[in-house]
Amino acid sequence: MFSKFKSAAVFCGSKPGLNPVFIQHASALGKLLALNQVTLVYGGGNSGLMGVVANEMLDNGGQVVGVMPDLLIQREFRHDRLSQLHVVEDMHARKKLMYSLCEAVIILPGGLGTFDEMIEVMAWNSLSIHNKRIFVINSGGFFDLFIQQMQRVQENGFLYGDVSGAFEVVDFPEKIFSTK
């Protein structure tokens, strides 16, 4: 059964990627978050997978909070229909505010920024800075090599805990809402 959280930070690409499943999963996630009355906290853009998740949330009556550094407002096309937008000084302030506004983290495919956010939130969990549930949606096997690398990091003695507790991998967004 779904263990309810009221807000989720979603990290994903500001580009759509090449595999159509990425957009399908972003769309499904946005709709599911709205239907489950989970507030979306995300990067504030209207492009790529970010825009897909936010638009589905808004189209389904969801609350959407954007957090965008001033330097990205022009580059990532700030979303103009958000429930709330926080403009912050830089990327560090963005991540810190996003983490403070969410109860869980959901990761979809993306580029360097997505991986940066994912690694940082995992590191903060391991350091007990916070203890947020982290879901990785492995759309079309996108994160397979990352998962293998994390297992290798553990096998080589670089983690303090079990990597299986660092994040929950799901193949479809619906699985997030059927787990405890």
- Is residue 29 situated within a structural domain? yes
- Short-list 58, 62, 47, 61, CA closest to 16: 47
pLDDT for position 21: 98
C-alpha 157/C-alpha 147 separation (Å) is 16
Question: Which residue range forms the structural domain that includes residue 102?
Answer: 7-178
pLDDT for position 179: 63
- Is residue 107 situated within a structural domain? yes
Residues facing residue 45 across a β-bridge: 78
Q: How confident is the model at residue 3 (pLDDT cuts 50, 70, 90)?
A: low
- Is residue 24 situated within a structural domain? yes
C-alpha 32/C-alpha 17 separation (Å) is 21
Residues facing residue 67 across a β-bridge: 86
pTM: 0.94
Instruction: Please list the alpha-helical segments (H only) found in 60-171.
Output: 91-101, 112-126, 144-155
- Is residue 2 situated within a structural domain? no
- Is residue 174 situated within a structural domain? yes
Quick one: tokens of 1?
């059964």
Q: What percent of the chain has pLDDT over 70?
A: 96
Mark 106-127 as b/e (b = at least 16 C-beta within 10 Å).
bbbbbeebbeebbebbbebbee
Please report which helix (H) or strand (E) contains residue 26, including its range.
helix 20-35
Query: How many folded domains does the chain comprise?
Result: 1
- Is residue 173 situated within a structural domain? yes
pLDDT for position 1: 37
Give 134's Cβ-side CA count (13 Å radius): 21
The DSSP code for 38 is: P
Section 25-43 average pLDDT: 97
pLDDT digits (tens, 9 = 90+) for 65-120: 999 998 887 666 788 899 999 999 998 999 999 999 999 999 999 999 999 999 99
- Is residue 154 situated within a structural domain? yes
Q: Which CATH number goes with the domain that contains 81? A: 3.40.50.450
Place of tokens 């936010």: 54
125 Rama class: left (phi>0) / alpha (psi -120 to 50) / beta: alpha
pLDDT for position 74: 65
